[in-house]
Chain A
Amino acid sequence: AQSVSQHNHHVILSEAASLELGCNYSYGGTVNLFWYVQYPGQHLQLLLKYFSGDPLVKGIKGFEAEFIKSKFSFNLRKPSVQWSDTAEYFCAVGGYTSGTYKYIFGTGTRLKVLA
């Protein structure tokens, strides 16, 4: 069955630390990959996406993610986090299952950045 795994449920970092959030998926065929972010009190919004081409994608606010097909991974990175990055981060994968396009979200990672 298709699935998306985010292994880090809670992450606490100090400002200026580097961030890497893991995302692994199980999905046959061509996939689209996404990271969404939910800041406290705000709507869930797109951080970045991968459809095709360069496997290293850059998103808003200095985030980037690398698609490694052989590892079925799409990890999110940021070289230096800020207090304002405190949020919940969701990985999502879209692909076809039995002829129907389906979108699956991971369980989310809560990031807290200490000032």
Chain B
Amino acid sequence: DGGITQSPKYLFRKEGQNVTLSCEQNLNHDAMYWYRQDPGQGLRLIYYSQIVNDFQKGDIAEGYSVSREKKESFPLTVTSAQKNPTAFYLCASSISGGILYNEQFFGPGTRLTVL
């Protein structure tokens, strides 16, 4: 089955700890994205990567970091610097990051709760 997997589904973290959210895709897509979904605010872009070994900040990158060492993987680290990390995090991918073939495919999401 082709798709995007995110793990874990639920994650609890103590304040002050860093935590890494996993995102893997087997769709052979070049572009990958991380969004944060909060009630009433829609999806806000955290980071995106159009190609391996390259990534760009989105609209709300502060307190987050990413890496893109492999085409299929785009992990997101929520650092202790993120002031309000409790949220639902969605990973997505698209064939390309440009104006063509950019329909996004989404994973099931990870709900992070900071205690």
Contacts and interface: CB of A to CB of B under 8 A. Distances in A.
Interface of A: 6, 9, 30, 32, 34, 36, 43-46, 49, 51, 90, 92, 94-96, 100-108
Contact of B102 (A36, A100, A101): A101
A90 B102 contact: no
A92 to B, nearest CB: 8
B106 A45 contact: yes
Contacts of A100: 56
Contact of A101 (B35, B97, B105, B109): B97
A90 B106 contact: no
A44 B97 contact: no
A44 B109 CA distance: 9
B76 interface: no
A107 B41 contact: yes
Contacts of B114: none
A103 B41 CA distance: 15
B105 to A, nearest CB: 8
Question: Size range of the interface on B?
Answer: 20 to 34
Interface of B: 33, 35, 40-45, 56, 90, 92, 97-100, 102-109
Contact of A44 (B98, B99, B100, B106): B106
Interface majority SS (helix, strand, loop, mixed), chain A: strand
A6 B15 CA distance: 34
Nearest to A104: B45
Given A90-B42, A106-B42, A107-B40, A32 B99 contact: yes
Nearest to A30: B99
A105 B92 CA distance: 13
Given A92-B104, A101-B99, A107-B42, 20 more contacts: A6-B42, A9-B40, A32-B99, A36-B104, A43-B107, A43-B108, A44-B90, A45-B106, A46-B104, A46-B105, A90-B42, A90-B43, A95-B99, A102-B45, A103-B33, A103-B45, A103-B104, A105-B43, A105-B44, A107-B40
